[in-house]
Each structure stands twice: as structure tokens, then as C-alpha cells.
Amino acid sequence: MGAPASTRNQALAAALLRRAGSWQQADARAVRLARGRTDDATDAARLADDYRLLAHDLAQARVLLPASRAREYLENVYARTHATLYHGAFRLGSELRRLFGVEIPAAIRALAPYIFWATLLFVLAACAGYALVRRYPELIALFASPALIATVESGKLWTQGLLNVVPSSILSVQILTNNIIVSLFAYCLGFLFGLGTLYILGINGLMLGAIFAFVGEHGLAGQLFSFLVPHGCVELSVICLSGAAGAAIGDALMRPGAAGRLESFRVAAMRSGVVLLACAILLVGAGLIEGYISPNPRFSLPVRIVTGVGYWCLMVAFLSGRLFAQTRREPRSAS
Amino acid sequence: MSAPLSGLSIESDTGIEVSLPVAGPGARAYAFLIDWHARLILGVAWFVIAAVLYNGRLSLTTSLTHDPLWFGAVVMPALAIYFLYHPVLEVAMHGRTPGKRSVGIRVVTRAGGPPGAGALLVRNVFRLIDSLPVAYGVGLTLMVLTKDSLRCGDMAAGTLLVYERPAADPALLQSAAQRVGVLDAAGAEIVADLLQRWTSLVPEARVRLARKLLQRYLGSAADLSEADELQWRARLERLAPP
């Protein structure tokens, strides 16, 4: 006959509790590895042993000590060890490299059809705005403020002398903040089954076309083009990009597929959301150009075109991941 | 001590499934309020100190509202502190913020792991929607309605908030291990805990808790006669000798 079950269980529980020190060591190791504070291979190898040991002890604790601190502590340590083992270390540098070098280019590739349709919608809206104001000039009152209309009717662009009123630095920050907010809204309003995004793209396109038609009527289209080209190439592209990201969310909500609406939304938002970070960074650059170069009459048209096209090419390199591509050195073969 | 809480289940190759308790709207709102005050105080503090330094006297306004120095050194950093507080700290603190840490919650992925920088940025971008129309109306409503208390940003990023249980002191657990005998393991833990915290309790609490424990584990055989607190401690030590 062995010992009574209760005595045996108490002895087992006591033996289990005496292992608390090793649980603490395992926890410290898991935290160290998760935060990337150690690259020690022995530490990493021991984590796998810790994991098995903790699983064994936790299974015992659930039977022997179901309502105890020891079980709660073990549950926590086991979950942390599991996360470290299966998800690896969190290193800010490598996280950001992966974000810019892998995740953003992959998101752009996945969004390609949406970028096409968002751009097409924007262009069509711009054409519609242009045609409307050309045909019915009084409709400009729907798209522009009375002050802007009065300035253009007096033969000047509202951008002339802008730097005499607001310094470039402040102008840049105001513009880039405004653009980032528009971009974020174009993305987030995809949550409304894509309708919010479509409205933002449509309204921005209509406004652009309408204002071009209006200034063209007054012989100022060339000046407006000269003002827009340095920053506009990227700024308008970014609006289309964030619109495409929002449209992808809307599409995921409208046509969720087999995975279900919530999961489909999550996948679409995660895939396209990282593009927003790229958009914000690009808009900072566009804002600086719009504050320092666009309103400054000292810059000639060729310089403006080179700036605009150059920044646009940089944007393409950035979004395609080429800017952050790591060159892999092939080992030389012995000849 | 509590029974296993329902929450996020993590399956593993060992066959042991762990459940992380999911933080509800209350804990999340409490953490948010702490963070909101922190970022407001930090932003205002920056603004006040920078404005005083800029003006060279105790004044928070300037006649040159378009001065780049005023804008760049006083206004913008204060706004940046307020608006970038959550995304920057969540990325830097692995899914935590000071508010979340003080409430004992953190952001994890649906697999229980730490979320990447992309997921943390996405969940913060969606604050724009969650904060509509006022006071996080959309976010709070969604949290109440969804099973895992998710706001829109969590749905988008595939994240949720779980409680971090306070770590038990391994020394306490080992001390409890030595006391298992007359008491079961859970009772030994409680006695070890009380003895460890003995000096941090007020004398009335020490006697009250010792009396309760002796009554629970010894019943009518317990010696509950009046005594000073040292004698109460000695009675507890006898109940579960190390």
C-alpha cells in the first residue's frame, strides 16, 4: 500500500512549489530573449528546455494547485516563454527594416489593383470638375472660397506673396499636417464600406479639376501648374495611395469571402495600414517642398519639374523597397 | 487567488493550452484616462516651459504668431507629445504605455505574442474612427459589443489587450513549499504570504488575519485567546512550521 492520495498530493505540491526558483530563471530568460537583450545561443537553447519543463509543471499545478498563486504564476511564465519561443525577439531596428524593406513593398504590390482604380476615380473626378466649371463657371463657388475667387479674378494666384504672410517653416508644417489628416481620413473612412474613401477621392479630384478650369479661364493655369508640380506629383499620388488603402478595407467589408467579415477586415487593414506610414513620411517631404520651393518665385520651371519628378521617383523607389534593399554578398567560388 | 479566467486561448505543441485574461472596457478606459492625463500634462508642461523660455518672462503668448522658432520649439513639440504619445510609446514599450502598465494590461496579437511595429501603428491610426463622434464613442461601443472587447483599431491590427498578472514572489512560493504539511498547498501559500507581509500590516490587521486563518484551518481546536501580536505570529508559525 502506498501513502494516502492526499498525503501524496501534498508531497507532490510541495515538491512543485520548491521549483519556483527555476520558474523565475526561465521567466527572466524569456524576457531577456524577447527584448533582444541577449544573443547568447545557450540561453536560446535553454529556452526550449524551460518551455518543456514549464509545460510539465503547469500541467501538474493545474491538478495539484488549481486555485493558487503558483498556478497563476506558472500560467504567466509559460505564456511568456511560448510567445518568446514562437514569435522571436522584438528589436526596434529590425522591426523597422522589415517594415520599410518588406511589409510596405508587399502591401503596395497587394494594393496594385486598388491603386489603379483609385487613381482612375481621382482622374475622372478631376476631369468632371474641369468640364463642369468650364461649362458652368459659376459652379466654382461650390469648390473655392470667395476670397480665392476674388484673388483669381483680379489676375493673381492666391499663392503669390504667400511667403510674405507665412514663413516657409510654418507653411510646411501646416500643409503637411493638413495633408496627413486628409490621407488618414481617406484610409480610415474605408471602414464605411469604402464610401468615405470614395467621397474623399472624388471631392479632391473635383476640386483640383474645377480650380484648374477656373484659373485657366483667367490665364493663370501655367502659374498654377508651376506652383503644383514640385510637390503635387507626390502629394496627389499619396492621396490616391491612401484612397487605395481605404478602398481595400471597404472591399474587404463588402466582399468578405469565406474567412468572415471581421477577419477579412483585419487582413485588409493590416496589409494596407502600413502604407499609411509611408504616406505620412512622403507627405512630410511634400509639405517641406510646398513650403520652401513651390511658393518661392526664385525657382524656375525646369527646377520645379526636376524637383517634382525627382521626388516622385524617390517615392517609387521607397515604396518598391529598392531604397532599403539589402545587397546580399554571394560567396566567391574557388576557381 | 482566482480560478482560471476565460480569455485568449493559446494552443501550443506541448498540448498545454494557456488562457490570457482579456482586459474589458473598464480596465482599458482606466488605462486610457491615465495616459490621457499623462500626455496632456506633458504637452502642457512643454508648452509652458518653452513659452516662458521663449518670452524670457512669465507669458504664454507671443505677438509673433508666425515666428518659426515659436512654432517649431513651443507649439509643435507640445502637439507632437500629445498626438504621438500612444504610437511611439506602444512601439518602444512592446505594446505597453505608462497607463496600461499601471493598470496591468498590455497589447498582444491574437496568437498571444507581442505585436509588430506595423500592427501597433495600424491600431493607432484607427483611433481616428474610434474617437468619433466624441469621447471614444465608437471605440467604447464596439468594446462593449464585441466578445474580446475590441475597438476598431484592434480589429484592424489583429490585437487585443490582456491582463498581466502580477508576478508571484518565488521566495514566497518556496517558503510555502516548506509549510505544506498540516496545511494544503494553497493554505501554506496564504500563511507564507501573511508572514512575509507581517511587518507591512497594521497591528490590528495582523491579529485579525491570523485569527481568521487559525479558525479556518484548526476550527474549534484553535487557540484564539487574547494575546499580543508576537504570540499570534508564533501561533501561525506553529500552524505551518517551515
Is-contact B116 A272, C-beta < 8 A? Answer: no
> What pLDDT shows up at residue B167?
64
> What pLDDT shows up at residue B179?
67
Kindly provide the residue ranges of all beta strands, DSSP E only, lying in chain A, ordered along the sequence: none
Mean residue pLDDT across chain A: 85
B132-163 CB burial, b ≥16 within 10 A, e <16: eeeebebbbebbeebebbbbbbbbbbbbbbbb
Cβ separation of A73 and B173 shorter than 8 Å? yes
**How many other CB atoms are found less than 10 A from the CB of residue A88?**
14
Judging contacts by C-beta atoms under 8 Å, the chain B residues touching residue A65 are: 185-186
**How many other CB atoms are found less than 10 A from the CB of residue B29?**
16
DSSP secondary structure code for residue A257 in this structure: -
- The whole-number average pLDDT for the span B55-84 is 85
DSSP secondary structure code for residue B198 in this structure: G
- The whole-number average pLDDT for the span A52-69 is 84
Going by pLDDT thresholds of 50, 70 and 90, the confidence category of residue A197 is: very high
Cross-strand pairs, B159: B109
Is-contact A69 A55, C-beta < 8 A? Answer: no
Q: What are the pLDDT digits (tens) for A223-273?
A: 899 999 999 999 999 999 999 999 999 999 998 888 888 888 888 888 888
Q: Sort A314 into a burial class: Cβ within 10 Å, 0-12 / 13-18 / 19+.
A: middle
Going by pLDDT thresholds of 50, 70 and 90, the confidence category of residue A2 is: very low
CA–CA min distance B207, chain A (Å)? 23
DSSP-derived 3-state class of residue B160 = strand
Judging contacts by C-beta atoms under 8 Å, the chain B residues touching residue A67 are: 1-3, 186
Going by pLDDT thresholds of 50, 70 and 90, the confidence category of residue B64 is: low
Identity of the residue in B20, B67, B174 whose CB atom sits nearest the CB atom of A18 = B174
Per-domain boundaries in chain A: 5-90, 94-324
Judging contacts by C-beta atoms under 8 Å, the chain B residues touching residue A262 are: 155
> What pLDDT shows up at residue A168?
76
Going by pLDDT thresholds of 50, 70 and 90, the confidence category of residue B4 is: very low
Q: Alpha-carbon distance B171 to B88, whole Å?
A: 36
> What pLDDT shows up at residue A47?
84
Going by pLDDT thresholds of 50, 70 and 90, the confidence category of residue A57 is: confident
CA–CA min distance A216, chain B (Å)? 32
> What pLDDT shows up at residue A5?
60
> What pLDDT shows up at residue A38?
67
Residue type, B215: Q
Give yes or no for B133 touching A (CB within 8 A): no
CA–CA min distance B81, chain A (Å)? 15
Left, alpha or beta for B56 (phi > 0: left; psi -120 to 50: alpha)? left
Q: What are the pLDDT digits (tens) for B100-155?
A: 999 999 999 888 888 888 889 889 988 988 988 888 899 999 999 998 899 999 99
pTM higher than 0.90: no
Interface confidence, given as ipTM, is 0.73
Most confident of A126-130, A188-192, B209-213: A126-130
CA–CA min distance A299, chain B (Å)? 22
Q: Alpha-carbon distance A226 to A293, whole Å?
A: 11
Is-contact A243 A200, C-beta < 8 A? Answer: yes
Judging contacts by C-beta atoms under 8 Å, the chain A residues touching residue B6 are: none
Cβ separation of A52 and B14 shorter than 8 Å? yes
pLDDT of B5 higher than 60: no
Higher local confidence (pLDDT), B74 or A87 = B74
> What pLDDT shows up at residue B65?
64
Higher local confidence (pLDDT), A78 or A116 = A116
Is-contact A14 B180, C-beta < 8 A? Answer: yes
> What pLDDT shows up at residue A11?
74
Is-contact A97 A222, C-beta < 8 A? Answer: no
- The whole-number average pLDDT for the span B22-33 is 94
Mean residue pLDDT across chain B: 84
Cβ separation of A276 and B19 shorter than 8 Å? no
DSSP secondary structure code for residue B146 in this structure: S
> What pLDDT shows up at residue A122?
95
> What pLDDT shows up at residue A314?
95
Task: Report CA dihedral (A221, A222, A226, A229) to the nearest 10 degrees.
Answer: 60
Is-contact A203 A195, C-beta < 8 A? Answer: no
> What pLDDT shows up at residue B240?
66
Q: Alpha-carbon distance B57 to B55, whole Å?
A: 5
pLDDT of A63 higher than 50: yes
Cross-strand pairs, B107: B161
Phi, psi of B23, deg, nearest 5: -75, 135
Higher local confidence (pLDDT), A1 or A196 = A196
Is-contact B206 B229, C-beta < 8 A? Answer: yes
DSSP secondary structure code for residue A103 in this structure: I
Give yes or no for B40 touching A (CB within 8 A): no
Q: Greatest CA separation found in chain A?
A: 109
Closest residue of B to A52, CA-based? B14
Closest CA to A111 of A257, A279, A17, A243: A243
Is-contact B105 B27, C-beta < 8 A? Answer: yes
- Tell me how far the alpha carbon of residue B29 is from its chain's centroid: 12
Higher local confidence (pLDDT), A83 or A329 = A83
Closest residue of B to A182, CA-based? B128
Q: Sort A327 into a burial class: Cβ within 10 Å, 0-12 / 13-18 / 19+.
A: exposed
pLDDT of A15 higher than 70: yes
Identity of the residue in B117, B174, B185 whose CB atom sits nearest the CB atom of A95 = B117
Q: Could you give the percent of chain B with pLDDT greater than 90?
A: 33
CA–CA min distance A327, chain B (Å)? 24
Cell of A79: 505564456
Going by pLDDT thresholds of 50, 70 and 90, the confidence category of residue B84 is: very high
pLDDT of B32 higher than 90: yes
From the candidates B16, B79, B183, B190, which should be mutated to test the interface with A, based on the most A CB atoms within 10 A?
B16
Stretch 73-112 of chain B: residues touching chain A, C-beta under 8 Å: 76, 91-92, 94, 108-109, 111-112
Q: Alpha-carbon distance A150 to B149, whole Å?
A: 53
- The whole-number average pLDDT for the span A206-217 is 93
Per-domain boundaries in chain B: 7-163, 170-239
Q: Which residues contact A47 (CB under 8 A, 6 or more apart)?
A: A26, A29, A30, A33, A81, A84, A85
pLDDT of A51 higher than 60: yes
Left, alpha or beta for A155 (phi > 0: left; psi -120 to 50: alpha)? left
Identity of the residue in A70, A165, A187 whose CB atom sits nearest the CB atom of B189 = A70
Is-contact A209 A127, C-beta < 8 A? Answer: yes
Picking from A6-15, A120-129, B40-49, which range would have the lowest pLDDT averaged per residue?
A: A6-15
Cross-strand pairs, B180: B183
Q: Alpha-carbon distance A194 to A26, whole Å?
A: 48
Cβ separation of B1 and A72 shorter than 8 Å? yes
Q: Alpha-carbon distance A88 to A97, whole Å?
A: 16
Q: Could you give the percent of chain A with pLDDT greater than 90?
A: 36
> What pLDDT shows up at residue B6?
53
Q: What are the pLDDT digits (tens) for A266-294?
A: 888 888 888 888 898 898 899 889 888 98
